[in-house]
Amino acid sequence: MVFRNSVEPAFCVTFELDITNLKHMVKNQGISFTMAMVYAVCKCANEIKEFRYRFVDGQVVLFDKIDTAFTYLNKDTELFKVVNAPLIDGLKQYCELAVKTADGQKEYFTGPLGNDVFQCSPMPWVTYTHISHTNAGKKDNATPLFDWGKYYEKNGRTVIPISVQAHHSFVDGLHIGKFVDKLQKYFNEC
């Protein structure tokens, strides 16, 4: 817990991954690209226990499974909802459930997010090399934040910038590296 009392106990890393196979697969199957990214990111993060640690009432807790929370744009109002959806097995099943949940949710916020979610916030309008997040000053907020930007072509492949912000008390660079490897493997195998 060396970093727990730091002024900024979280750190953020941005990297590029090849999503060529994922992009083709979602297009061929008619699946939402955004929901496929939420699924892939949260599935891979769940496989690394350090991403599932949280502070709950001041104590360290390891969750068995973490569900999803994601921003979802209302194209008519250009406002975002924050939507929670359970991380169920199966990419297509998750995507269908997530879209149905998002479309059915009328409120923009249904209350504060719990400790049992990964927060995903796609930003498909910009290809970026870094992103920062608002900080409420809650040093025990250990919920990882996952973002991705606009994908683009590079050397005949489709790449996307992805960012991970995580609490340094639980997640180190080693764990980010494991996450990057798992996520790239998932994209490759689509």
Q: Which CATH code is given to the segment(s) 10-188?
A: 3.30.559.10
Give the start-to-end residue ranges of the domains of the chain. Answer: 10-188
CA–CA distances in Å: residue 113 to residues 34, 67, 79, 82, 87: 20, 11, 18, 9, 15
- 106-130 tens-digit pLDDT: 988 877 788 899 999 999 999 999 9
Q: Report, as ranges of residue numbers, the positions in the chain whose pLDDT lies below 70.
A: 1-8, 136-137, 139
Triad 64, 68, 71: Cα angle to 5°? 160
- 1-12 tens-digit pLDDT: 565 555 567 899
